[in-house]
Homo-oligomer: A and B are copies of this chain.
Amino acid sequence: MDRKEADSASPRGRQRENQRERLILAAETRIATSGVASLRARDLAGDIGVALGSIYNLVTDIDELILIVGSRTLTKLDAALGEAATAHAMANPAGAIERLIAIAHRYRAFASQHRFLWRALFEFRLAEGRDVPDWVSADLKHIFRNIVEPLNTLMPWAEAEKRALMAHTLFCAVHGVVSLGLQGKMVAVPAEVVDQEVEQLLRLTCAGLLQEG
């Protein structure tokens, strides 16, 4: 019978799985140090000691490789933000605000620390026709949960849907400040100033929210 997926128990499949993993690692390393734009099939083949064509036995595309690395980055980001989210207790609104700020600062730190991996998440454009893979939505749900939780304390009067929308808005807004600030397309802003900016933005927004309730 023709199996499409290699049996991961057989020695053949084991070897294959190992190579694929090494390929992903190599891609991740290259993206992390030189940016997604400088990923070369031939370099990767050299990295894992395999012929050029073999890349295409392990992966259908270079794009698939980039997506896989993106998935890993998103998971790391989720972990980092989750950690920051537990840093502050959150019984009162003040605590909730601090937690939101902590998450935002962690986001900025992640972006600084994994500059190229983080950029790859947003720079990468799917080839026309392919749609966003499932893991994106999955990981994003996790991340958003961390933001919704403080919002439950800050805007208890609002419906869940409103809070979800606010979480989306805040995430995007903070992302905008971090993204444009760090990569200095317009004006390069030092990390500490970016932190100040997101902090100010969140404090003001939350002040507005509390006033509203």
B-contacting residues of A (Cβ < 8 Å)?
37, 122-123, 125, 132, 136-137, 140, 165-166, 168-169, 171-177, 179-181, 184-187, 189, 193, 196-198, 200-201, 203-209, 211-212
Contact = CB atoms under 8 A, between A and B. Distances in A.
In the complex this chain forms, how many copies of it are found? 2
A200 B122 contact: no
A173 B165 contact: no
B172 A177 contact: yes
Contacts of A209: 204
Contact of A177 (B176, B198, B208, B211): B176
Contact of A205 (B140, B177, B184, B205): B205
Contacts of A196: 165
A177 B171 CA distance: 8
A212 B207 contact: yes
Residue with the highest number of chain B CB atoms closer than 10 Å, among A125, A168, A177, A208: A208
Nearest to A184: B132
A201 B197 contact: no
Given A123-B123, A165-B197, A180-B175, A185 B37 contact: no
A209 B206 CA distance: 11
A18 to B, nearest CB: 32
Contacts of A123: 123, 125
B200 A211 contact: no
Nearest to A189: B168
Contact of A204 (B179, B180, B181, B208): B208
A24 B166 CA distance: 41
A168 B187 contact: yes
